[in-house]
Amino acid sequence: MIQQGEMAMAKIKFETKNALGIVTLDNPPVNAIGVELIGELQDVLEKIETSNIRGLIFKAEGDNFSAGADVNIFKGRTPAQAKEMFDDFFALLHRFETLPIPTMAVVKGLCLTAGLEATLCMDMIWAAENAVFAQAEAIIGAIPFGGGIQRLAARSGSARAKEIVFSAQFYPARKFLDYNIINRILPAEDLMEKAEKYMQNLADNGPTLAFAATKKIVNVFENEGIASADQMTRDLGSALFDTKDFQNGVASFLKDGPGKITFKGE
């Protein structure tokens, strides 16, 4: 049940539950991703970026997360038109990746091509036991146009990423867990309840500014290496000394021991 607010559009829903935001794909029958849906996600991001949420879940209605891109959007496009479309999709993915809050994709059923690329932009991926993943663009003579190759490589290594893309194979959730691409597998009937409980706690009680710093450090490490991440850690770590969460966290730890504080994101 929606507790505080909801924005509904043709293919996307956005609701808030206290400090947790939930984005839901709702484009039956298979939540295909097309130009219109990308535009709606851009509108949702405007709401997210100006809201006071401190955590985000990305999920889908129906039995499948997404069967991937609507292949009709590729038909008849020139290379110049394709670049413009890719620019819009990458801009969307980068905005999700750089949100200064913890994010999680919650996946059941099929999670293919552009759908998988969207989940790879979340900090964590939790999957149902019946989830199936694929970067299957090779079957139409294409590559993962939304950066799936490099994001799979960041999680699982370059050799594994190339195997996944070259083969266009469908992988069960257990394989993707073994490959370090997803974080956790749960029974489908428990997935959303447990994912929401986990993320609600991070959103309502977590040190949001420290989480934002963690994301920036990991992103710098992936792009520039350990030395640059060390520099970022020094800069962002010292800035945390001026936050109420850190000051109150230290005081609470020294007085009452660990785990007794609720952070405010300040």
Give me 247's structure tokens.
């000051």
User: Quick check: 120 pLDDT over 50?
Assistant: yes
Q: What's the mean pLDDT when you consider all of the chain?
A: 94
What residues contact residue 168 under an 8 Å CB cut-off, 6+ apart? Answer: 134, 135, 136, 137, 138, 139
**Across the strands, what pairs with 220?**
none
What residues contact residue 227 under an 8 Å CB cut-off, 6+ apart? Answer: none
The one-letter amino acid code at 157 reads G
What residues contact residue 70 under an 8 Å CB cut-off, 6+ apart? Answer: 32, 33, 34
Supply the DSSP symbol for 59.
E
Residue 83, helix vs strand vs coil: helix
**Exposed, middle or buried: residue 56 (CB in 10 Å: 0-12, 13-18, 19+)?**
buried
217-251 pLDDT, tens digit each: 999 999 999 999 999 999 999 999 999 999 999 99
The one-letter amino acid code at 253 reads F
157-170 pLDDT, tens digit each: 999 999 999 999 99
CB atoms within 10 A of CB 5: 12
Domain ranges of the chain: 5-204, 207-256
Q: Which CATH superfamily hosts domain 5-204?
A: 2-enoyl-CoA Hydratase; Chain A, domain 1 (3.90.226.10)
User: Quick check: 9 pLDDT over 70?
Assistant: no
Q: Does domain 207-256 have CATH number 1.10.12?
A: yes
User: Quick check: 3 pLDDT over 80?
Assistant: no
pLDDT classification of 259: cutoffs 50, 70, 90: confident
Residue 58, helix vs strand vs coil: strand
37-83 pLDDT, tens digit each: 999 999 999 999 999 999 999 999 999 999 999 999 999 999 999 99
